[in-house]
Chains A and B, each alone.
Chain A
């Protein structure tokens, strides 16, 4: 019987490791393909930690299962080993994990600073202001004059345009409750707190369309706060789009084509 129980515990461990292999590369079950510069660091760190924890897991589980298998045999004669511990062992298995954990902690400082420290914010002009509200993203571009709330601003709902390799600098604000600006493909996320102006920056390395999700519970419509990040191939493409959008906006403040993607 003890063999069966050991196998049951073993099966859980095998399942845990196996499902990672099963999921590899599958849409939705795996990282969406990374398209940002910071995402490279984040994914790298993820895999470093996966290796460290994965090896730890396998070692611990092998010992655990081995002990269950060996000492779980009810026919084993005699008493258990009478010991209260081992000083050397305690020291080793405190010191080694401590060193590994400190290594992980220090190893990631760089990426964290890159992603969030204001001192690492690129000094390119503000690209857009994102104002979150239940349950939409209002995105306003300062336009060529680089000033918000002037005549050359474009404001749209749920669509954020940018171009490839641009240092995108956003100003994030919320007008009601907490929201969180999350671009899975760019690995970026930042909560938006009413009353606080915050910046977010990232660089997208491939043109395309990427989803924006709200990651902080904001009410019953939290799940449908979907936006799109549209990355143009070149700045010229972006500028062309911008002039067009500005023209349409001036022609009709409520041009339905501006809203159609909003859902």
Chain B
């Protein structure tokens, strides 16, 4: 369908105004981007809970190994005295990471904000391909079902890490979880891939074709920019992962040998025909999964830029450098995947080139941080819940970014590779970064999504608790990593080297459990505010960007009434001389004295 056809279609649609759609078409199989965004949001709140519980299982074992797991132990492992069996532990780490990465962060950022914000922020009536958008959402569910079902099949869930390295993951004999759990994992990931790819194509097309009058590329808010570049990143990287997943399925189920070397014997059984190369999987996997790291952080950076400017009442410092930095990260993101493979047996000379490119990718990240600092300088900060979460993003991302340099340094990586150092690092980026970014966006756009506000008080309680506990859980991981504490060990205390680290692990586990409880505050606040929240009005934060300037608070299908808005300036012209007392100067206000202004006033 061409974009003009879409526009005509949706305009006609808007003209019909409120012709009744059935409940199912309106809220379940909806093609409205706003509903789809909200569907993603509800789904992600559910998967976040799932991933969190898996994490607590991991934490329990690290703090109190081989003891009865509270609540779940009795239910699941009563024959083992309620304690977790050794083969379950790697399933928990594998599935925790897989759920959080593929079912929470990626759909949470791209799915929720991509769908909800892009058309509103660029003044479009909907996505370019609304039906495809609906399909993109519904591909999440088979993925969730495959992942959940994998716990109940013979052998249990996938067990060779979210990276699923063969020959472990590629051969049925390698572990119980390599039986059917791994196949389900692969199928689940294929579905996530389809979902992301359909979303990406949609976002790219929408942004290129459906911007409203006056909305040039360099007047787009950072959220849209970041989602745009992320979508391009996804669209180019995902096919490689998809191919790799299919190859691994073939290796496992049809005895091909893409990743199986000669004469492989696993568990005293010949594994199958040889001739393959295990490292090939790692290259293919990381060719996607390194960019995926940025797919998981760039949209959050966009969200945070929008939130910070709104509550700093100040233009974004260095808008163009910020856009360039995102583009730079995306470009460099394609040539650094080998930094996950420094110790893999890959040619060490290659390691040197990957190390150099990895060092360089720290640069655009640093530029982003400096520009956020520049934005805060001379600002007028308003301490709202979204702002607090956005500030947490900035300060935690600083830690996550700096700790990355240690791993990028190849000789240091020899020692800290596959230790808790990397676990700490990834959580500072993905929890301290992406998840706080997601929280910021959630609190920020909630009034737009539901017409009501979440409780500021409970929002702040949730933030303060999460921020403190997050640091207590994850910062000590760097210290453990310095001690060489290995990741994915069900019982590190089996080693003399790490036997003294139990007290700290217990502290971290207790903090993690509390952190989990604090998320209940978020859930309660979220659901209770749907009905009881204070009415938000059109623009509760007095933000400039287009999404807050729809004709109705919660616009129907088509968003903009009879005519899409005209944009007169960038999204961050807070505090401009023409602006109102609090710096408010929306993108839609015509410049003073212009013809448009006179017409507007009339």
Contact A80 B495 (CB under 8 A): no
Residues of B within 8 A of A98 (CB): 360, 363
Max count, chain A CB within 10 A of own CB: residue among B317, B381, B382, B405: B381
Please name the residue on chain A nearest to B490 by beta carbon: A223
Kindly state whether residue B274 has any CB partner on chain A within 8 Å: yes
A220 to B181, CA, bound (A): 14
Known contacts A195-B277, A222-B90; decide if A29 and B409 are in contact (CB<8 Å).
no
Kindly state whether residue B167 has any CB partner on chain A within 8 Å: yes
Max count, chain B CB within 10 A of own CB: residue among A12, A32, A180: A12
Minimal beta-carbon separation of A35 from chain B (angstroms): 12
By a beta-carbon cutoff of 8 Å, the part of chain A in contact with chain B is: 1-2, 5, 8-9, 11-13, 15-16, 19-20, 23, 26-32, 38, 41-42, 45-46, 49-50, 52-53, 56-57, 60-61, 63-64, 67-68, 71-72, 74, 76, 78-86, 89-90, 93-94, 97-98, 101-102, 104-105, 108-109, 111-113, 115-117, 134, 175-178, 180, 182, 184-185, 187-196, 198, 211, 213-224, 226
Contact A72 B381 (CB under 8 A): yes
Minimal beta-carbon separation of A15 from chain B (angstroms): 6
**Cβ proximity bits B316-348 to A, threshold 8 Å, 1 near / 0 not:** 111111000000000000000000000111001
A46 to B489, CA, bound (A): 24
Contact A117 B349 (CB under 8 A): yes
Contact A12 B467 (CB under 8 A): yes
Can you name 18 A-B pairs with beta carbons within 8 Å? A11-B468, A12-B467, A30-B483, A31-B484, A45-B412, A49-B405, A49-B412, A64-B394, A71-B312, A82-B574, A83-B378, A85-B317, A93-B367, A101-B363, A134-B266, A185-B497, A195-B277, A198-B345
Known: A28-B500, A29-B500, A84-B318. 13 other contacts (CB 8 A): A5-B383, A28-B480, A49-B412, A60-B369, A60-B398, A82-B575, A85-B374, A108-B411, A178-B168, A190-B343, A213-B484, A215-B343, A221-B86
Minimal beta-carbon separation of B207 from chain A (angstroms): 22
Contact A8 B468 (CB under 8 A): yes
Max count, chain A CB within 10 A of own CB: residue among B396, B405, B411, B489: B411
Known contacts A57-B399, A60-B373; decide if A74 and B382 are in contact (CB<8 Å).
yes
By a beta-carbon cutoff of 8 Å, the part of chain B in contact with chain A is: 86-87, 89-90, 159-161, 165, 167-168, 171, 174-176, 261-262, 264-267, 271, 274, 277-279, 312-321, 343-345, 348-349, 351-352, 355-356, 359-360, 362-363, 366-367, 369-371, 373-374, 376-383, 388, 391-392, 394-396, 398-399, 402-403, 405-406, 409-412, 414-415, 417-419, 464, 467-468, 471, 475-476, 479-480, 482-486, 488-492, 494-501, 504, 574-577, 579, 581-583
Known contacts A28-B500, A53-B405; decide if A80 and B312 are in contact (CB<8 Å).
yes
Residues of A within 8 A of B497 (CB): 28, 32, 184-185, 211, 213
A83 to B309, CA, bound (A): 12
Contact A83 B176 (CB under 8 A): no
A191 to B321, CA, bound (A): 40
Known contacts A15-B471, A112-B410, A189-B417; decide if A83 and B380 are in contact (CB<8 Å).
no
Q: Choose one: A11, A72, A176, A222; the contact of B488 (CB below 8 Å).
A: A222
Contact A93 B366 (CB under 8 A): yes
